[in-house]
Amino acid sequence: MMAKITIIYDSITGNTKRMAEEVYKGANHVGELDIVLKHVDEASGLDLLSEGLIIGSPTHCGVISWKLKKFFDENTRVAWGKVGGYIATAFSSSGGLGGGNEVTLLSILSILMNYGYLVFGLPDYAAPGVTGHYGAVSVRNPDEKELKQCYLLGVRIAEYVKRFHS
């Protein structure tokens, strides 16, 4: 059976959704993995049992959106402590530069670590001066460089899942 990567995102005005689509493309690029993309409203606790998990949230007051927080809080019984060694990362769209998108990533990574996922960021540069050491970030409508960051995040998680779980 192929290892699975699930991308779960929340998005009110479409910016995080656009990032999610690019992460999905990057993860698919690697091949021989089952890649699933879901809005948090469509996600179930069982999705947390994927070998790779990527969470995308708009920056809301500097932290994860309430819907995603609720999703994690409600699914501890299904997945908490059962995903040790599974691999996860995150992305976030904010309204402003300095508006807290990286702080939001840390709030997501903190939840993922509590569950037991191994978390990572990008050592890669999407363009000169544009990296994603805590995951991928964008400000409002993601531009080409920010989308490249998302694509790379998808490629990296697929490579890691393939190396450790296929």
Ligand X SMILES: Cc1cc2nc3c(=O)[nH]c(=O)nc-3n(C[C@H](O)[C@H](O)[C@H](O)COP(=O)(O)O)c2cc1C
Site of interaction with ligand X (CB under 6 A): 11-17, 58-62, 93-96, 99-100, 140
Burial grade of 164 (CB within 10 A; 0-12, 13-18, 19 or more):
middle
Nearer to ligand X, 13 or 114 (CB): 13
Q: What six digits make up the tokens of 95?
A: 């309204």
Nearer to ligand X, 85 or 96 (CB): 96
Residue carrying structure tokens 């996922």: 117
Alpha helices in 31-92 (DSSP H): 66-74, 76-79
Name the residue whose CB lies closest to ligand X.
Answer: 99
Give least dist CB 25 to ligand X, A: 17
Give least dist CB 140 to ligand X, A: 5
Please count the helices (runs of H) and the strands (runs of E) in the chain.
5, 8
How many other CB atoms are there within 10 angstroms of residue 143's CB atom? 12
Give least dist CB 59 to ligand X, A: 4
Cα–Cα distance, 74 to 53 (Å, whole number): 17
Nearer to ligand X, 39 or 165 (CB): 39
Give least dist CB 14 to ligand X, A: 5
Nearer to ligand X, 79 or 100 (CB): 100
Nearer to ligand X, 31 or 96 (CB): 96
Cα–Cα distance, 69 to 67 (Å, whole number): 5
Give least dist CB 53 to ligand X, A: 19
